[in-house]
Amino acid sequence: MRALICHAAQDLRLETTEVPELGEDQLLVRVAFGGICGSDLHYFQHGGFGTVRIKHPMALGHEVSGVVEAAGVQVRGIKPGQRIAISPSRPCGNCRFCQSGMQNQCLGMRFYGSAMPFPHIQGAFSEKLVIDASQAYPLADHLSLSEAALAEPLSVGLHAIQRAGGVLGKQVLVTGCGPIGSLLIGGLRRAGAARIVAADIADLPLTCARQMGADETINLRTQSEAMDKYKADKGQFDAVFEASGSEPALRVALDVIAPRGTLITVGLGGEIALPMNQIVAKEVDLRGTFRFHAEFATAVQFLNEGLVDGKPVITAVVPFERAVEAFTLAADKSQSLKVQIAFADASA
């Protein structure tokens, strides 16, 4: 089979690799669609992010769907032919975080396509995958395999909503409306947010944000004054989800968040300076959010039942043979939100 292997920055190759052996609790899957994520792009463009660097060749990718080809002898309930979304989260199950329900903080996590541990964890952009049966989530007949590959980024958004601790009836701002921010908006709608304002510095993501359920969109570059009304009386938003990872967005968030509001930082922003006086005086709850675990099942359920329609997020689908082209397209934020790779036989 072929896999998409990153050797270093700007060095991405389609290579022939061996299909791993099928274990008795495992499934052999023909991969259908794979979404290119921001972290995949960082590996491709810069060979990593922050202190994380690719030190040996690594297959990229962690947002995948597929069709089961074979099941190990111990697998129950999933048969060949089953269409599935694949969770890339593989916690150890034994560490103190797994034992207390914080699997996303697992000390032995083997998350697909991650150069954080060494040796690196190989990713899922390959024609075939052998997965643990517990990673497989069956799809409803009407849900396309392309949409199913959005379960992972939707899970990230749903975990962020969990971290906010309840948004029912709240006025919410989302800054940064790429695939994660936009899918998060779809989740917020389902979680009962009363009013959702979406902000970005480009129009393409804002159009998507509106399709995903935002009530108002603000382009911070061309209509920054539109945010002024939300600064009144110490700030108007009960919760802000900062999904851009940029310092200016975080500063806007602190200007418009209400006292005792919750600021969830979804974007990885590196090292940036914060106006601590605002955080202190407004008693802002500043909370990080990282990946997901149990939310993957919820994401698949929302997609299966049509409660979140992720289609507006997908801006291009590119054949596997042109995967390097797909990465270049995904890096062009003026025309791309989620770019997906279609693997061989993806129509099945």
Which residues of this chain interact with Zn ion, rule CB under 5 A? 91-92, 95, 98, 106, 108
Residue 286 CB, nearest distance to Zn ion (Å)? 26
Smaller CB distance to Zn ion: residue 27 or 106? 106
Residue 117 CB, nearest distance to Zn ion (Å)? 12
Residue 187 CB, nearest distance to Zn ion (Å)? 25
Q: What is d(CA 64, CA 33) in angstroms, rounded to the nearest whole number?
A: 6
Smaller CB distance to Zn ion: residue 121 or 220? 121
Smaller CB distance to Zn ion: residue 108 or 288? 108
Smaller CB distance to Zn ion: residue 101 or 108? 108
Contact in structure between 26 and 130 (CB atoms under 8 Å): yes
Q: What is d(CA 341, CA 318) in angstroms, rounded to the nearest whole number?
A: 5
Smaller CB distance to Zn ion: residue 18 or 118? 118
Residue 119 CB, nearest distance to Zn ion (Å)? 18
| Residue showing tokens 């791993």 | 20
Residue 92 CB, nearest distance to Zn ion (Å)? 4
Label residue 331 exposed, middle or buried (CB < 10 Å: 0-12, 13-18, 19+). Answer: middle
Smaller CB distance to Zn ion: residue 92 or 297? 92
Smaller CB distance to Zn ion: residue 101 or 288? 101
Smaller CB distance to Zn ion: residue 96 or 231? 96
Residue 87 CB, nearest distance to Zn ion (Å)? 15
Residue 97 CB, nearest distance to Zn ion (Å)? 6
Smaller CB distance to Zn ion: residue 91 or 186? 91
Residue 96 CB, nearest distance to Zn ion (Å)? 8
Residue 90 CB, nearest distance to Zn ion (Å)? 10
CA distances from 268 to 116, 184, 203, 205 (A): 14, 16, 22, 18
Residues 6+ apart with CB under 8 A from 198: 173, 174, 177, 181, 182, 185, 206, 209, 210, 214, 216, 217, 218
Contact in structure between 107 and 117 (CB atoms under 8 Å): no
